[in-house]
Structure 1
Amino acid sequence: MVKYTTLLFFLVFNSVNAAEVNPIFGKYVYSGYKVSFLDGRVLTLSQLGTKSAQIEFRPNMTIRMEMKMFDGTTRISEAKILESHHQGNIGSIFEKWPEMSYPVTLYYKRNAHGLSYVISFNNHADPMRYGGREESVLTKISSR
């Protein structure tokens, strides 16, 4: 009985979380991006060597990012959505990227053409990013 109860809890929990991400499911292209650091530096996608970038919020509770670099290579990374909260056109997603040792929270606002988001890096154990802020504008190109 315990196994079935655990399985049922797992299935219900995951379906509720997947349903919560639903307002933003789909693929977006980055139409604006900058990351600001405590020392005053501000970098854009092109300054990071990126020609274009897309991000997809998927029903399987993952986020897939694909970046086409100026050198002709393509970089793909996939994050796990650990938790999400949405109310109207605003929300937050607690996500874990494999390149980072800790999860971050993405705060977003939806609009008629896509969404914008902000991530603040507040982990003291990451001196390179600590105090930084990532801001993006995404244009929706397809729905799931």
Structure 2
Amino acid sequence: MATKDINKAILDFLQTRPDGATTGEIVEAVGGDRVQVKRHIQYLRGQKHIRVLEYGSGRHARSVYGFVSMPPYRRLTGTITLATLEYLRTHGQSDVLKILTAIDASRQAVHYAVRILEKHGLVTRANRTEWKAIDVPQAK
């Protein structure tokens, strides 16, 4: 497969993945040699066509690659994060306990999700323990 074709195949695949994809998933979708595909991913990152989305932290962090023009809330990997954002959007203002009961997740996972959302400027602290969603216009 020609270089241009591999690059196009990678970008086409990532456009279909709202939460990004791991290297393994990209290699599987595109086919071909893992080392070669990884080289193309690095090239596309350098050209600012794709971005790295870190998921998890420390030793357990994994890199997920996403398409550059994803709307900001789509860049957040993980269903818990998206569920947290949706819950805050529909309920106005809430605390971690209410969120974790509603979306059936662990306290630690919800805390982590809220921290990611805060970092991306999608939620704000209403007071010491409660958060509310900042409305984000969807990308066209």
Which structure carries more relative contact order (alpha carbon 8 Å, separation 6+)? 1
Same fold (TM over 0.5): no
Q: TM-score range by the shorter chain?
A: under 0.3
Query: TM-score scaled by structure 1?
Result: 0.26
- Larger strand share, 1 or 2: 1
Q: If each structure's helix is expressed as a fraction of its own residues, which one has the higher value?
A: 2
TM-score, length-scaled by structure 2: 0.26
